[in-house]
């Protein structure tokens, strides 16, 4: 019997060859937002490695929406043309091509992680990475020493909605099958959702409905701009994990509204409202975010993707077999082993022909020789 993990998944007019997803993981290696050879090879290896869907990293819809100077962008046709090469390659190797659209909000204009992962400073200026003004729902910085964002007004918010729409159109022309809207990890749309960062007193702040208003406007605009036969995902931080922050009940309400807006799947992460985007404020254990995906799937009645220390194909298979999610994202494990999906397939079905005839010979030699020892 075919494993759940290896079974196809149909989302609108797109069929994934399996339910293994490589989620967005920023590489901070673009020049002026343009994808290059690095991105083609980096993402291409996951398609060769057997993943069903490969989602490119957070891609800014305006230059000021980049996290760092190394982020991808999609604010011009030239950026779309640069990304199209990677989309073509992914699809040519049997994977679906995904792209995450984003605006970093008050966490824009940061250092690349290996330079400190904080606000830009003198050493960054010496490298040519100068800061730029940042925006947010409220003039509340991430932390002491960070840039104070300008509070977005109605005209600026309307312009950002148009920027997301334009980016979606360019992503479609570039050949992407799936787009994911980034509403997580402390970036702009998450900062509207969280009461820790949204202190507005107008219609876009205050209670849960007000805080959801702008993210839902963006989601609805994307659904209208994105082709009807292509799926649209939303990545959420299911909880802030900080007292007074976003709760799972908030996210369940948001997910229900997203479903009614025509969103096809919720990608369930957590944390990031302060500090590093990857600094989850919940206890890390194997599959530590799977419960979020399970509850949102069950209670908001929308498909979900589970992510978070999913390291073994048997673990991923159990998540799907138990009905806790519809797709499984394998991020850092894929960085460590781009062939993770092929190894999962080998455990259930065997290697594909191109690799199998080499590896079968290797296996016979290893069986004959026994384990290597110094």
Residues recognised as catalytic: 187
For the chain, helix (H) and strand (E) counts, in that order, are 12, 13
Enclosing H/E stretch for 39: helix 37-48
Place of tokens 């605009």: 221
> Do residues 317 and 4 touch, judged by C-beta distance below 8 A?
yes
CB atoms within 10 A of CB 241: 18
d(CA 97, CA 88) in angstroms, rounded, equals 8
- Measured in whole angstroms, the distance separating CA 9 from the mean position of its chain's CA atoms is 19
* 73, 124, 132, 137, 369 from 129: Cα distances, Å: 16, 5, 10, 25, 54
Cβ distance 181 to 101 under 8 Å? Answer: yes
Q: Please give the structure tokens belonging to residue 52.
A: 């069903």
Distances in Å between the Cα of 26 and the Cα atoms of 163, 257, 277 are 21, 28, 11
Distance of alpha carbon 132 from alpha carbon 366, whole angstroms:
56
* Cα 341 to Cα 19: distance, rounded to the nearest angstrom: 10
Distances, alpha carbon 164 to alpha carbons 59, 61, 79, 225, in Å: 11, 6, 14, 9
Helix 154-173 to helix 77-92 angle (10° resolution) is 40
**Positions of E strands within the chain:** 9-11, 14-16, 20-22, 53-60, 72-73, 96-102, 135-136, 150-151, 178-183, 232-237, 265-269, 304-306, 327-329
Tell me the HSE value of 363 on the side-chain side, using a 13 A CA sphere. 9
């Amino acid at each position: 019997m075919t494993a759940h993990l290896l079974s196809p998944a149909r989302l609108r007019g797109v069929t994934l060859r399996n339910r293994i997803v490589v989620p967005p993981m920023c590489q901070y290696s673009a020049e002026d937002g343009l994808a290059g050879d690095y991105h083609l090879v980096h993402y291409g290896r996951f398609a060769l490695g057997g993943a069903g869907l490969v989602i490119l990293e957070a891609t800014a819809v305006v230059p000021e929406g980049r996290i760092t100077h190394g982020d991808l962008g999609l604010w011009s046709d030239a950026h779309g043309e640069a990304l199209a090469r990677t989309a073509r390659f992914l699809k040519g190797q049997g994977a679906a091509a995904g792209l995450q659209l984003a605006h970093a909000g008050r966490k824009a204009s940061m250092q690349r992680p290996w330079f400190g992962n904080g606000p830009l400073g003198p050493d960054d200026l010496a490298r040519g990475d100068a800061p730029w003004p940042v925006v947010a729902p409220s003039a509340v910085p991430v932390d002491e020493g960070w840039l104070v964002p300008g509070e977005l007004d109605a005209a600026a918010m309307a312009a950002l909605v148009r920027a997301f729409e334009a980016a979606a159109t360019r992503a479609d022309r570039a050949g992407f099958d799936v787009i994911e809207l980034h509403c997580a990890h402390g970036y702009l749309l998450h900062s509207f959702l969280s009461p820790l960062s949204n202190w507005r007193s107008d219609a876009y702040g205050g209670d849960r409905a007000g805080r959801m208003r702008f993210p839902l406007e963006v989601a609805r605009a994307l659904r209208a701009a994105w082709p009807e036969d292509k799926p649209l995902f939303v990545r959420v931080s299911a909880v802030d994990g900080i007292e007074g922050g976003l709760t799972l009940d908030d996210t369940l309400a948001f997910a229900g509204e997203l479903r009614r807006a025509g969103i096809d799947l919720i990608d369930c992460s957590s944390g990031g409202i302060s500090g590093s985007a990857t600094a989850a404020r919940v206890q890390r254990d194997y599959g530590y975010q799977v419960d979020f995906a399970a509850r949102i799937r069950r209670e908001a009645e929308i498909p979900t993707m589970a992510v978070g220390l999913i390291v073994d194909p048997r673990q991923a298979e159990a998540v799907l077999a138990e009905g806790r999610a519809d797709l499984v994202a394998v991020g850092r494990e894929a960085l460590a082993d781009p062939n993770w999906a092929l190894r999962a397939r080998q455990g259930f079905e065997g290697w594909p022909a191109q690799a199998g005839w080499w590896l079968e010979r290797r296996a016979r030699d290893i069986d004959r020789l026994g384990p290597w020892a110094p």
